C-alpha cells in the first residue's frame, strides 16, 4: 500500500512548517487528513485512506505502533501481549482476513476454564455451579436493563449468591470490563454480554496491528498539543511545528482527551468534554509469569479463577499459546490500587495469589515476572473504556463529526464493541469511510 503526500519522507512531516497556524486562515492544507494516534483505530483509518487516493499521515506521541495493543518480543523467549490479547466477534471485523494476508496466525480461544476452591481443582459440580450462577447474574442484569430505571450492575445481581458473590462480581466486572459492577450500567452492560467467539494471535495481537501498519506514514515522538479547528481546515500543533489538513481523525484515548493534554481552539462544545469524562477507562493490568515447565498442570490457554472470599482476587491465563508463559489478570478498583504501588506490589500480589491458589510449592517454579501499569502510561492513562450510565449517548455524540473537520474514533466510540481490538479497528474504518465520503462531496 502506498500513499503520495506533499512530504517526500516521514522525517520531513513537520520540518517544513515552522510557524503556528492561524485559525480560519485559508491556505492550501498539507494533507487531506491527519490522524492523531497510531493505535488500532488510527492504523485502520490510515489503511482505508491509503486506498482512497487521499493524502494523509499519522502523528504518534510514542515511539511505537499499536497503542494499547502491543506485543513484547524481548522480555521473554516468546512474544506476549502487554495490552489486548483477544479479538472478539471476529465475524464483525476485517482483521481475520487481513491477518491471513499477512501470514499471521489467528486461532479460536478454547475457552477452557476451571475454578479453584480452597487450593483444589474444581469438581464437576463446582464448575456447573459457576456457570449456573454466571447465567443467573447475566439474566438479572438483562432483565434490569429492560426496565425504566437506570441502575448499576451490582444493584441488579441476585441477592442470594451467597459465597459465590465475590467471584461473580470479579468475573462479570473487572475480569470482563476492567471496572467494578457498581460502576457499570445495566443498560450499557446488556449490549455486550455475549462477545464470543474470540480469537487468539499466536505471534501476538500487537504484532498483527503493527504488521498492518507497515508502509503507513507515521511520525513518532510527535504528540499533538493543540488542535486549531477553523471554518474549512485544521492545524495541529506539535513540539516540532504545525501541520494543516482538511480534516483530522483523533484516536487518542478518552482518558488522554479528558486530561487536557490535547487542547482545542476554539474550545470544544461542553457536551464533548462531558463525553470524554463519561467514557472513562477501566483498570486492566497483568503480571506475566514465566514458569519452569508446566508445574500447575494446566492446559494451553486455560483460564483459572478462584472461589474468592473478597475483592482481592485475579484470574490466570495459563500456558499462553502452549508456552511456559502465563498472565495473571488483575483488574478493577482493586487492581488499580495495587498497580499504583508499583511493580513490586504487582509481582508480590501475583506470587501470593499463585501460592494461595496452587500451593506454596508453585511459587518455587516461577522463573521471572513482568508487570504492566496502563494507568501510568502517559499516552493511554488506562486500559479500555467501561460502561457507566450514559455511555451510549456519549459514544453516539463522539461518532458524529464536529463541523465536518474533527472526527473522533476508537474503541470507546464503538457503540457495541467498545473495549475490544476489533471495536477499535472497526471504528477507525468507520471514521475514515465517513471522512472520505465528506471530502468527496466538497
* Distance from C-alpha of 190 to C-alpha of 351, rounded to nearest angstrom: 35
DSSP-derived secondary structure letter, 260: T
**Residue 81 covered by a domain:** no
Tell me how far apart the alpha carbons of residues 432 and 407 are, in angstroms, rounded to a whole number.
Answer: 9
- Angle between helix axes 343-358 and 332-340 (nearest 10 degrees) is 130
Asked if 135 and 38 sit in the same domain, the reply is no
| Alpha carbons 313 and 344: distance in angstroms, whole number | 17
272 shares its domain with 386: yes
82 falls within a domain? no
The pLDDT value given to residue 425: 97
Structural domain including 190 reads: 113-195+282-376
pLDDT in tens, the chain (442 residues): 333 333 433 344 533 332 333 333 445 899 999 999 999 999 999 999 999 999 999 999 999 999 999 999 999 999 999 999 999 989 889 999 999 999 999 999 999 999 999 889 989 999 999 999 999 999 999 999 999 888 999 999 999 999 999 999 999 999 999 999 999 999 989 888 678 889 999 999 999 999 999 999 999 999 999 999 977 899 999 988 999 999 999 999 999 999 999 999 999 999 999 999 999 899 999 999 999 999 999 999 999 999 999 999 999 999 999 999 999 999 999 999 999 999 999 999 999 999 999 999 999 999 999 999 999 999 999 999 988 988 989 999 999 999 999 999 999 999 989 999 999 999 999 999 999 999 998 7
Cell numbers found for residue 308: 474468592
Q: Which grid cell sits at 258?
A: 479528558
344 assigned to some structural domain: yes
pLDDT of residue 188: 87
Residues 293 and 358 in one domain: yes
- Domain end residue (candidates: 358, 376, 394): 376
Q: What is the CATH number of the domain that holds 422?
A: 3.50.50.60
Distance of CA 97 to the CA centre of its chain: 21
**Sheet strands side by side (includes 86-88):** 86-88, 198-201, 106-108
> Residue 429: phi, psi to the nearest 5?
-65, -40
Position 346 in a domain: yes
Q: In whole angstroms, give the CA distance from residue 114 to residue 121.
A: 7
User: Which of the listed residues 376, 408, 430 is the one where a domain comes to its end?
Assistant: 376
Query: In angstroms, what is the C-alpha Rg of the chain?
Result: 22
Q: Do both 218 and 364 map to the same domain? A: no
What does the angle CA 169 – CA 69 – CA 414 come to, to the nearest 5 degrees?
Answer: 65
Rounded CA gap, 408 and 132, in Å? Answer: 40
Element (H, E) at 200: strand 198-201
Please list, in sequence order, all residues whose beta carbon lies within 8 angstroms of the beta carbon of residue 193, skipping any fewer than 6 positions away: 138, 141, 142
CA 350, CA 103: separation in Å to the nearest integer? Answer: 35
Q: What is the pLDDT of residues 330-366, one digit of tens each?
A: 999 999 999 999 999 999 999 999 999 999 999 999 9
For residue 157, being part of any structural domain is answered with: yes
* The overall pTM is greater than 0.95: no
pLDDT tens for each residue of 293-319: 999 999 999 999 999 999 999 999 999
Bridge partners of 196, per DSSP, are none
Cα–Cα distance for residue pair 226/234, rounded to 1 Å: 10
- Tell whether 163 and 288 lie within a shared domain: yes
| Same domain assignment for residues 287 and 359 | yes
Q: Classify residue 146: in a domain, yes or no.
A: yes
Q: What is the CATH number of the domain that holds 297?
A: 3.90.660.10
Residues 6 or more apart whose Cβ sits within 8 Å of residue 22? 228, 235
With cell 462479570, the residue in question is 172
Where does 211-359 show beta strands of DSSP type E? 218-219, 224-229, 234-238, 241-250, 263-265, 284-291, 303-306, 315-317, 325-331
Verify that 265 and 394 share a domain, yes or no.
yes
For residue 199, report the phi and psi dihedrals to the nearest 5 degrees: -115, 150
Q: What was the pLDDT predicted at 442?
A: 72
Residue 297 sits in the same domain as residue 333: yes
- The pLDDT of residue 27 is 59
Let me know if residue 102 belongs to a domain: no
- State the angle between helix axes of 421-441 and 40-50 in degrees (0 to 180), rounded to the nearest 10: 40
271 and 225 within one domain: yes
* 372 and 290 within one domain: yes
Residue 82, CA distances (Å) to 143, 235, 287, 297, 349 in order: 36, 33, 9, 24, 18
Considering the domain architecture, whether residues 286 and 365 belong to the same structural domain is answered as yes
331 and 367 fall within a common domain: yes
User: What is the residue-wise DSSP string for 50-61?
Assistant: HTTT--EEEE-S
In a domain, 83, yes or no: no
- Residue ending a domain, choose from 340, 356, 376: 376
* Closest C-alpha among 35, 69, 30 to residue 49: 35
Domains of the chain: total: 2
Give the CA distances from residue 335 to residues 175, 224, 295, 351, 431, in Å, rounded to whole numbers and listed in that order.
Answer: 10, 30, 26, 15, 33
Amino acid at each position: 500500500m502506498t500513499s503520495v503526500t506533499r512530504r517526500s519522507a516521514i522525517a520531513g512531516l513537520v520540518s517544513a512548517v515552522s510557524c503556528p497556524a492561524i485559525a480560519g486562515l485559508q491556505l492550501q492544507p498539507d494533507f487531506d487528513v491527519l490522524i492523531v494516534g497510531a493505535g488500532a483505530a488510527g492504523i485502520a483509518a490510515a489503511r482505508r485512506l491509503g486506498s482512497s487516493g487521499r493524502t494523509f499521515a499519522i502523528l504518534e506521541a510514542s515511539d511505537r505502533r499499536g497503542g494499547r495493543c502491543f506485543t513484547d518480543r524481548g522480555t521473554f523467549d516468546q512474544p506476549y501481549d502487554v495490552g489486548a490479547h483477544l479479538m472478539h466477534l471476529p465475524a464483525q471485523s476485517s482483521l481475520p482476513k487481513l491477518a491471513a494476508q499477512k501470514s499471521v496466525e489467528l486461532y479460536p480461544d478454547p475457552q477452557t476454564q476451571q475454578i479453584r476452591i480452597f487450593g483444589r481443582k474444581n469438581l464437576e459440580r463446582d464448575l456447573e455451579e459457576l456457570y449456573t450462577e454466571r447465567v443467573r447474574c447475566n439474566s438479572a442484569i438483562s432483565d434490569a436493563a429492560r426496565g425504566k430505571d437506570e441502575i448499576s450492575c451490582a444493584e441488579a445481581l441476585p441477592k442470594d449468591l451467597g459465597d459465590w458473590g465475590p467471584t461473580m462480581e470479579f468475573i462479570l466486572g473487572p475480569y470482563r470490563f476492567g471496572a467494578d459492577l457498581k460502576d457499570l450500567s445495566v443498560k450499557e452492560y446488556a449490549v455486550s454480554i455475549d462477545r464470543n467467539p474470540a480469537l487468539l494471535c499466536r505471534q501476538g495481537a500487537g504484532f498483527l496491528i503493527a504488521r498492518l501498519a507497515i508502509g503507513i506514514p507515521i511520525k513518532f515522538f510527535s504528540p499533538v498539543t493543540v488542535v486549531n479547528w477553523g471554518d474549512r481546515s485544521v492545524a495541529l500543533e506539535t513540539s516540532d511545528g504545525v501541520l494543516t489538513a482538511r480534516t483530522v481523525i483523533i484516536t487518542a484515548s478518552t482518558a488522554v482527551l479528558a486530561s487536557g493534554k490535547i487542547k482545542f481552539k476554539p474550545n470544544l462544545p461542553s457536551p464533548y468534554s462531558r463525553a470524554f469524562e463519561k467514557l472513562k477507562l477501566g483498570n486492566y493490568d497483568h503480571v506475566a509469569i514465566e514458569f519452569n515447565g508446566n508445574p500447575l498442570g494446566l492446559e494451553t490457554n486455560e483460564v483459572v479463577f478462584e472461589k474468592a472470599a473478597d475483592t482481592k482476587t485475579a484470574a490466570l491465563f495459563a500456558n499462553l499459546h502452549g508456552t511456559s508463559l502465563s498472565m495473571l489478570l488483575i483488574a478493577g478498583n482493586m487492581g488499580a490500587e495495587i498497580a499504583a504501588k508499583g511493580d513490586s506490589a504487582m509481582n508480590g500480589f501475583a506470587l501470593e495469589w499463585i501460592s494461595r491458589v496452587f500451593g506454596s510449592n508453585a511459587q518455587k517454579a516461577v522463573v521471572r515476572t513482568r508487570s504492566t501499569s496502563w494507568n501510568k502510561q502517559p499516552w493511554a492513562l488506562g486500559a479500555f473504556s467501561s460502561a457507566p450510565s450514559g455511555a451510549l449517548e456519549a459514544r453516539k455524540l463522539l461518532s458524529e463529526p464536529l463541523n465536518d473537520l474533527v472526527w473522533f474514533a476508537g474503541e470507546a466510540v464503538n457503540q457495541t464493541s467498545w473495549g475490544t481490538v476489533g471495536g477499535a479497528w472497526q471504528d477507525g474504518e468507520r471514521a475514515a469511510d465517513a471522512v472520505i465520503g465528506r471530502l468527496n462531496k466538497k
